[in-house]
Amino acid sequence: MSTYRQRLLHAHHAPGMTWRALQRLHAEQPHLEQYAHTSLQTLAHVTGCRYTTVRSWQSFWRNTAIDELETNMQTEGIMPLTVDHPLYPWRLRQMPDPPWVIYCKGDVSLCERETLAVVGTRQPSKYGVRATEELLPPVAQAGRVIVSGLAKGIDTIAHQRAILAKGKTIAVIAGGLSHIYPRENQPLADDIAKDHLILSEYPPTQQPQKWHFPERNRIISALSDRLFVVEAGERSGTLITVDQALEQGRDVCALPGSIYNQKSIGTNRLIEQGAGMVLHPSDL
């Protein structure tokens, strides 16, 4: 007989399953006793999803065994933590929309330590690169875990500098662990999975979609004690993470920049609005 965690994991793997759809299904069946045997009509009514979507769920549930999913993940070194698991990070539990499952490779205990999230543009200036490279190592060496999103630019530099400083880092990715994006960061992802932590709220085989990135950002901010914004334009997607951090009660600080640099408009505006100004590693 399957356990609640196994049923939640199985339900979560269904193709096209969303956080909200699973929330509605869970509200209807708190223990998910009949999720795989619920009629298409009821599934569509309860979750608000189309028949084509719920039909694909039902086909998946009937043709894929829970044990098979668990074996495949174990073979790949992936640890799935359902929201009720004792190792599930406490910071994520405090979210209004905690991930139903997080899929992890590496040292999950890093989520319990003091953390600093670092975000910024994918195309940093030389100034942004230098500032990140010089400000972060003392912070990592002091024991703070550097959290970022494995994207190009500032994210990549933040992870690399934490590793070079013999510190620790957590990468939160969009899409599943079997689909690292961008592809050129696969070696970095492998290093992080080996000695640090990489995690996702999406099943391993899920390819990254454009809406995954803002969803991922709320996890980055939730895992942080403080959020450091390095460079961001006036309408940068990075500022979405800032909004989420503030909603979650996190402290926000930013790197000041030249008034002539478009990538500093967002960070300068944040400082004007009350974010902490970062001039030295001690400010982090």
What are the pLDDT digits (tens) for 26-37?
999 999 999 988
Quote the pLDDT of residue 25.
93
Cβ distance 81 to 88 under 8 Å? yes
Q: Indicate the pLDDT class of residue 15, thresholds 50, 70 and 90.
A: very high
* Residues near 129 by beta carbon (within 8 Å), at least 6 away in sequence: 157
Quote the pLDDT of residue 220.
96
- Average pLDDT in the 45-69 region? 93
Residue spans of alpha helices (H) in the chain:
4-12, 19-28, 40-47, 51-63, 66-75, 90-93, 126-141, 154-164, 186-195, 212-222, 238-247, 265-272
Quote the pLDDT of residue 214.
87
Quote the pLDDT of residue 179.
94
Q: Residue 234: how many CB atoms within 10 A of its CB?
A: 12
**Digit-coded pLDDT (tens) for 92-109:** 999 999 999 999 999 999
Quote the pLDDT of residue 2.
80
- Average pLDDT in the 182-187 region? 95
**Digit-coded pLDDT (tens) for 124-166:** 999 999 999 999 999 999 999 999 999 999 999 999 999 999 9
Q: Residue 198: how many CB atoms within 10 A of its CB?
A: 25
**Digit-coded pLDDT (tens) for 217-265:** 999 999 999 999 999 887 777 888 888 888 888 999 999 999 999 999 9
CATH topology of domain 108-283: Rossmann fold (3.40.50)
Quote the pLDDT of residue 278.
96
Q: Indicate the pLDDT class of residue 1, thresholds 50, 70 and 90.
A: low
- Average pLDDT in the 266-277 region? 94
Query: 160-194 burial by CB neighbour count: b if 16+ within 10 A, else e?
Result: bbbbebebbbbbbbbbbbbbbbeeebeebbebbbe
